[in-house]
C-alpha cells in the first residue's frame, strides 16, 4: 500500500464512523458535532483528489456556516425530547435494510462497470485547475448562468428563511 | 495518484446509504436534515472524483459541486427556519407529530 492509499483508508474509516454516529447517537448536539468531524474527513478526501479549493470551501461553508447553523437550531429547539424517548422510529430496521440494499446495489453496479479501477490521469503540465475553475465560473461560454442562478437562489432562500422564522409581530 | 476510482465511489455509496438510513429512521426533524447533509456530501465526493479521474482540464465536475454547496446552504437555511417556526407554533420537532396536512 502506498502512503496515499493509507491516508485514504484512515480518512474513509473516519468519515464512515462519524457518519454512523450522526445517524445513531442519542443527543442531537453530539450528532451535529459528529457531522462536523465527518465534514472534515470529506474535506481531506477533496485534498487527496487535488481539489484544494473544494477542501477549503468545505471547511469554510459546511463547517463554518452550515454546521454552526445546525448547532444553533439544535439549541433553539432543545426543550423537547432532550434525552427521553426513542430517537429512532419503530421501523428503523426497515430503513437499515433499505440502506444496506442501496449500498450493495450501487456497489454491485459500480464494480461491474468497465474502467472502474482506473487511476487518475496526471494533470497536464501548465494547467492551473484553480484558475480554470475561476474562469469557468465567470466565463459566458461556460457556467456564468448557473453561477448567477445559484446566487439568486441563495438570496431567495435568505429572504424566505427570515420571513418564515421571524414569526408574527 | 495511486487510489483507484472505485474506492471513492464505494465510499460515497456507503456515506449515501448511511444518510438514507438517517433520513428514514430518525424522529427529530433536525436530525433528518443532518442526514440529508451526509447524502449531499456523498454526491459531492462523486462529482469531484469523476472530475479528477475522467477529465481534470474540463471543470464541469467542480462547478457542479460548487452549485451543490450553494443549494445545500439554501436548503439548510429554509429547512431550519421551517423547523424553528414549527417548534414555535406546535412545540415539537418530531416529524411524526407534524401532521397538519395529513388526511
**Which domains, and CATH codes, for chain B?**
5-94 (1.10.287.3510)
Residues 24-53 of B with CB under 8 A from A: 24-28, 30-31, 33-35, 37-38, 41, 44-45, 48-49, 51-53
The fraction of chain A above a pLDDT of 70, given in percent, is 94
CA-closest candidate to residue B92, choices B19, B27, B23, B21:
B27
Q: Looking at the partner chain, which of B13, B37, B49 has a beta carbon nearest the beta carbon of A49?
A: B49
Q: Are B58 and A136 in contact (CB under 8 A)?
A: no
8 Å CB contact of B67 and A150:
yes
B97 burial class (0-12, 13-18, 19+ CB within 10 angstroms)? middle
pLDDT band at A110 (very low <50, low <70, confident <90, very high): confident
CA gap A98, A85 in Å, rounded: 24
8 Å CB contact of A157 and B73:
yes
Supply B61's cell numbers: 465536475
Q: If you write DSSP's letter for every residue of A47-110 in order, what string do you get?
A: HHTT-HHHHHHIIIIIIIIIIHHHHHHHHHT-STTSS-S-SB-TTHHHHHHHHHHHHHHHHHHH
pLDDT band at A33 (very low <50, low <70, confident <90, very high): very high
Q: Report pLDDT digits (tens) over B57-89.
A: 888 888 999 999 999 999 999 999 988 888 888
Residue in B with minimal Cα distance to A117: B4
- The Cβ of residue B80 has, within 10 Å, a number of other Cβ atoms equal to 24
pLDDT band at A102 (very low <50, low <70, confident <90, very high): very high
What is the model's pLDDT at position A81?
53
Min distance A40 CA to chain B CA atoms (Å): 11
The CA-based dihedral angle spanning residues B84, A59, A136, B44, taken in that order and rounded to the nearest 10 degrees: -70
Q: Report pLDDT digits (tens) over A43-93.
A: 999 999 888 899 999 999 889 888 898 988 888 887 655 556 677 777 888
Residue in B with minimal Cα distance to A43: B45
Q: If you write DSSP's letter for every residue of A56-72 in order, what string do you get?
A: HHIIIIIIIIIIHHHHH
Min distance B58 CA to chain A CA atoms (Å): 8
Beta-carbon pairs below 8 A across chains A and B: 266
ipTM value, please give it: 0.89
8 Å CB contact of A73 and B69:
no
Q: Report pLDDT digits (tens) over B1-33.
A: 688 888 899 999 999 999 999 999 888 888 899
Asked if B84 reaches chain A (Cβ–Cβ under 8 Å), the answer is yes
Candidate from A50-59, A128-137, A156-165 with smallest mean pLDDT: A128-137
Amino acid at each position: 500500500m502506498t502512503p496515499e492509499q493509507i491516508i485514504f483508508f484512515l480518512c474513509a474509516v473516519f468519515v464512515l464512523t462519524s457518519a454512523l454516529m450522526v445517524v445513531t447517537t442519542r443527543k442531537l448536539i453530539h450528532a451535529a458535532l459528529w457531522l462536523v468531524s465527518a465534514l472534515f474527513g470529506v474535506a481531506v478526501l477533496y485534498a487527496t483528489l487535488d481539489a484544494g479549493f473544494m477542501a477549503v470551501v468545505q471547511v469554510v461553508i459546511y463547517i463554518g456556516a452550515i454546521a454552526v447553523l445546525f448547532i444553533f437550531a439544535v439549541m433553539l429547539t432543545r426543550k423537547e425530547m432532550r434525552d427521553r424517548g426513542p430517537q429512532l422510529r419503530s421501523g428503523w430496521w426497515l430503513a437499515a435494510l433499505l440502506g444496506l440494499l442501496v449500498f450493495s446495489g450501487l456497489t454491485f453496479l459500480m464494480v461491474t462497470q468497465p474502467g472502474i479501477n482506473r487511476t487518475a490521469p496526471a494533470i497536464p503540465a501548465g494547467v492551473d485547475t484553480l484558475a480554470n475553475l475561476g474562469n469557468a465560473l465567470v466565463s459566458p461560454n461556460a457556467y456564468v448562468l448557473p453561477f448567477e442562478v445559484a446566487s439568486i437562489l441563495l438570496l431567495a432562500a435568505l429572504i424566505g428563511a427570515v420571513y418564515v422564522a421571524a414569526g408574527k409581530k | 495518484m495511486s487510489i483507484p476510482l472505485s474506492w471513492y465511489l464505494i465510499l460515497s455509496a456507503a456515506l449515501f446509504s448511511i444518510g438514507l438510513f438517517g433520513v428514514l429512521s430518525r424522529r427529530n426533524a433536525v436530525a433528518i436534515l443532518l442526514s440529508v447533509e451526509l447524502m449531499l456530501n456523498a454526491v459531492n465526493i462523486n462529482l469531484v472524483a469523476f472530475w479528477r479521474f475522467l477529465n481534470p482540464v474540463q471543470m464541469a465536475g467542480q462547478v457542479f459541486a460548487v452549485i451543490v454547496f450553494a443549494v445545500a446552504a439554501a436548503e439548510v437555511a429554509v429547512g431550519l427556519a421551517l423547523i424553528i417556526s414549527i417548534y414555535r407554533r406546535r412545540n415539537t420537532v418530531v416529524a411524526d407529530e407534524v401532521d397538519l396536512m395529513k388526511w
